[in-house]
Structures are given as C-alpha cells and as structure tokens.
Amino acid sequence: MATRARIETAVKEAACLAVRGTRESSVHQGDFTAFVEEIGPKLRATLLARYGPERGADVTAEALGYAWEHWDRVRAMENPAGYLYRVAQSQARRGIFRPKPRLPQPRIAYQPPRVEPGLKPAIERLSPRQREVVVLVHGFGWTVTEVSEMLGIGFSSTKKHLERALTRLRSEMGVFSVD
C-alpha cells in the first residue's frame, strides 16, 4: 500500500479509534477495576480452555497479579489480554505440574451442565493449542479473529488448529455425524 493510501486509511481508522477510545480510555488511563472487568473474562476463558478449571484459575490469578504489579506497563499495552496470556503461560511453565491446594469450597446451588463423559478426556488429549482454540470458538463462542488476537497467532494458523481439533474430536467422539 502506498504511503499516501496508508495514511488515508490510518486517518479513517483513527477516527474509528477516537470513538472506541472513549471506551478504551478507562483501561489505558489506569482504572484497574475496569481493566479486570474488560480483560479478565477473556483471559480467564482462554486459560480455562487451555489448562482446565483448577490450573486455569490459578494462572489467571497469577497473570492478573502480574498486571497489578506492573500496571504502569500493562495499561499502556496494545493487547494487554494477549500479553497476560503469555505471562500466564510462563507462570504455568514455572510451577510444579500438580494442582495447588484449595480450601474447601462451599457447595453452591448451581449445577453445571452434565458434560458428555467422553468429551472431557477427548479434549484433554488434544494439544493445548487445539484445546484452547476449539473451546474458545465452539464453547465460548469467540470468533476466530478474536482467538487469533488473544493467542498472538495468525488467522490461518488458528483455523488450522481448529480444524485439527474438530477432526480429532469427531474421531474420538465417534457418535457424532460429520456435517
């Protein structure tokens, strides 16, 4: 793209950003609570998809703690969710591979849905990347673009991981028909 065209495009995009900037300003101007409300659910969903509920929750907490400690830097980032996702990955690598202890949790009335018994082990047998992509897209309803932005990988790579994950799940969950 020629420089002139790029600049014109950028000016148009800048106009869009000016609108979006109103919403984003809470994060970039330093409101950590707003940051958690905006970014936290995405980060949590991604890490739950990758590491499961226990370890995923642990590393989510670790990553948000990192954001709290390095707030000046994190708030200025273009993609803080993606950055913290990597922080969480690093934290997960550094920990001993076993669950952290948890205090007994009070039983709550909500009953999570029954999950097809074969699905959980099938998902666990996927590669971590396949697992997070397929759960985020088809479980949490994210777009492929959103997933690729969060994971910091290309659109086509994300689609490839998604296709492989579905192929494997279909194979292992043989009761399902393939459309």
* Residue 30: φ, ψ to 5°: 115, 10
**Position among 101, 106, 107, 109 found at the interface with other proteins (CB under 8 A):** 101
**Position among 19, 106, 119, 143 found at the interface with other proteins (CB under 8 A):** 119
Tokens 């043989």 sit on residue? 174
Question: Footprint of other proteins on residues 122-141 (CB under 8 A)?
Answer: 123-125, 128-129, 134-135, 138-141
Do residues 91 and 83 make contact, with C-beta atoms less than 8 angstroms apart? no
Q: Residue 61: name the closest of 77, 32, 27, 84 by CA.
A: 84
Our finding on whether 52 is near other proteins (CB under 8 A) is yes
Our finding on whether 89 is near other proteins (CB under 8 A) is yes
CB of 59 to other proteins, least distance (A): 10
For other proteins, the closer of residues 24 and 143 by Cβ is 24
Alpha-carbon distance 5 to 154, whole Å? 24
Q: How many chain residues are in contact with other proteins, going by CB under 8 A?
A: 105
Alpha-carbon distance 15 to 71, whole Å? 27
Separation in Å, CA 108 to CA 44, 53, 105, 170: 20, 16, 9, 33
Our finding on whether 143 is near other proteins (CB under 8 A) is no
Alpha-carbon distance 57 to 78, whole Å? 24
CB of 109 to other proteins, least distance (A): 11
For other proteins, the closer of residues 119 and 143 by Cβ is 119
Do residues 82 and 151 make contact, with C-beta atoms less than 8 angstroms apart? yes
Three-state secondary-structure class, residue 176: coil
**Position among 19, 94, 107, 109 found at the interface with other proteins (CB under 8 A):** 94
**Position among 19, 97, 107, 109 found at the interface with other proteins (CB under 8 A):** 97
Neighbours of 29 (CB within 10 A): 9
Question: Footprint of other proteins on residues 11-50 (CB under 8 A)?
Answer: 11, 13-14, 17-18, 20-21, 24, 28, 30-33, 36-37, 40-41, 44-45, 48-49
Our finding on whether 167 is near other proteins (CB under 8 A) is yes
